[in-house]
Amino acid sequence: MIQTPWFFGLIAVVYAAALLGCLTDRGRVCTVFLSLGALLNAVFLVHHSAFTGVFIWNSLVDPAFFLPFTVVLAILFIAAKLGKPCREMSPAILFLLATTVFAAWYPKGIVPPAGNKTGTWPFLFFVFENAAYGLFGLSGALALSFSKEEVRWKTLRRTIVTGFVFYSIAQVVGALWSFQGWGHPFMWGSRHLSSAAVWLFYGALIHMRLLSSFVIRERWLAIAGGCLAVYIAYSHLMYEMGLQRIGG
């Protein structure tokens, strides 16, 4: 049951209920459903890692299923900082729902782990990279609805900066993993170049705050960055859908 599309379909229904609670200003209801969805997602991740009979740590951070988990944790944290989920959080929950629907559609099997794709470095890489992609996509969703009220805008900026820190850690860890597994810390391939594009974009976005005219464009650049990050993250996943898997 857990290794089927129906389980993530159930999680999607739970998040749809959370979205309804958010739109009707029922903060507690929204929080309960978000927490329930996070719990179900965690159960899936653990089962996904162990269903072959051997616990595989890398499967715990399988991007298609781990990314929604990072997004819901971030939403719960931000909602707690703001007091409770409100209507302004609805684009963020809609983004969470979209990632969950994709996870329901995505193959549930695991790619047989090769020698250079196991160990501490790839595990840490996917933890930080997917957390960053989740925060970047979330910041783009929040930029759609957040007002320029000081607390909310600071929250948006901190989400972007935290995502950038996580992404920077992922690049360092990824370089170490690449050197250990393939003998090169960087390669001129689509995977590494797309990561560099995201890192440079958000590095520029953070430093452009020093320009006096930047405030007007900040919202649109945050939305554009979220779209870029989500496109790159899910283009990798679409490519990996064609790989041979164990368990479907």
C-alpha span between 79 and 69 (Å, rounded): 15
Residue 216, judged by CB atoms within 10 A of its CB (0-12, 13-18, 19+), counts as: exposed
Return the structure tokens found at 163. Answer: 């995502």
C-alpha span between 125 and 120 (Å, rounded): 8
Cα dihedral across residues 164, 42, 101, 95: positive or negative? negative
Residue 158: CB atoms within 10 Å: 14
Assess contact for 30 and 18: CB atoms under 8 A: yes
- For 53, phi then psi, to 5°, come to 100, -15
pTM, two decimal places: 0.91
C-alpha span between 133 and 177 (Å, rounded): 19
**Closest residue by Cα to residue 142 from 163, 166, 125:** 163
Assess contact for 128 and 166: CB atoms under 8 A: yes
* Per-residue tens of pLDDT for the chain, all 248 residues: 565 678 889 999 999 999 999 999 888 899 999 999 999 999 999 988 887 777 878 888 888 999 999 999 999 999 988 876 678 889 999 999 999 999 998 887 777 666 566 778 889 999 999 999 999 999 999 998 877 677 788 888 999 999 999 999 999 999 998 888 777 887 888 888 999 999 999 999 888 876 656 555 788 899 999 999 999 999 988 887 776 766 65
- For 43, phi then psi, to 5°, come to -60, -45
Q: Rg of the chain's alpha carbons, rounded to an integer? A: 18
